[in-house]
Amino acid sequence: MKILFYVGASLFYLLGAFPTWADAAKGEEIFNSMQEGDCKSCHRVDGGRLVGPGLANVTQRHSKEWILEFLKDPQSTWKSEHPETIELKKRVRKTRVPFTACKKNPMTSEQLQDLFDYLSTLEK
Ligand code: HEC
């Protein structure tokens, strides 16, 4: 009986974990593809700076809400008085710059979600 329990439990675990892997993999494609996110042109996935900050641990620096909002509309988020935006502006020393250099192609909310899932896998 015990063995059945283990088989059942691991199946449950695998099925539960699968969608997240699949989404993170799609997010990685979007991140690297020049036609889609093209994030790779400006961001490294470790701690190092390129045009923008390295994105390792970015989901620890920011809430999910902020990241999704910023990726949907970087310019409006940049203008907002959100504490996470203020912190970012200070960190990149652009408190007086009225726009962000972070650009992106329009994406569906599913693509944004996949990108977020990929960003959550980036740790140092
Ligand atoms: C043209 C260059 C460029 C592209 C393309 C770009 N970014 Fe950025 N990104 C930046 C810069 C520069 C910043 C820092 C804010 C600033 O200086 O404008 C930034 C900031 C960010 C931040 C906040 C980082 C932090 O440490 O708080 C995230 C998250 C982010 N970008 C994700 C992305 C994703 C995901 C994509 C692809 C969909 C992308 N960026 C595409 C240049 C870019």
Report the number of distinct structural domains present in the chain.
1
2: confidence class by pLDDT, cuts 50, 70, 90: confident
- Residue 65 falls within a domain, yes or no? yes
Who contacts 22 (Cβ-Cβ below 8 Å, separation ≥6)?
Answer: none
Name the residue range of residue 25's domain.
Answer: 2-119
Tokens of 114: 């996949």
Q: Closest Cα to residue 121, out of 35, 49, 60?
A: 60
Q: In this predicted structure, what is the pLDDT of residue 118?
A: 97
57 within 8 A of 122, measured Cβ to Cβ: yes
Residue 50 lies in a domain: yes
Joined together, the tokens standing for residue 101 give: 């250099």
For residue 124, being part of any structural domain is answered with no
Q: Is the pTM of this model over 0.85?
A: yes
User: Exposed, middle or buried: residue 72 (CB in 10 Å: 0-12, 13-18, 19+)?
Assistant: middle
- Residue to mutate, 42, 70, 91, 107, ligand 1, most ligand atoms under 8 Å from C-beta: 42
Ligand 1, residues at Cβ distance < 6 Å:
37-39, 41-43, 51-53, 55, 58, 61-62, 67, 71, 88, 92, 94, 100-104, 115
The 10s digit of each residue's pLDDT in 3-29 is 776 776 666 666 656 666 779 999 999
Residue 52 lies in a domain: yes
Report how far ligand 1's centroid is from the alpha carbon of 50 (Å). Answer: 10
Is residue 46 in some structural domain?
Answer: yes
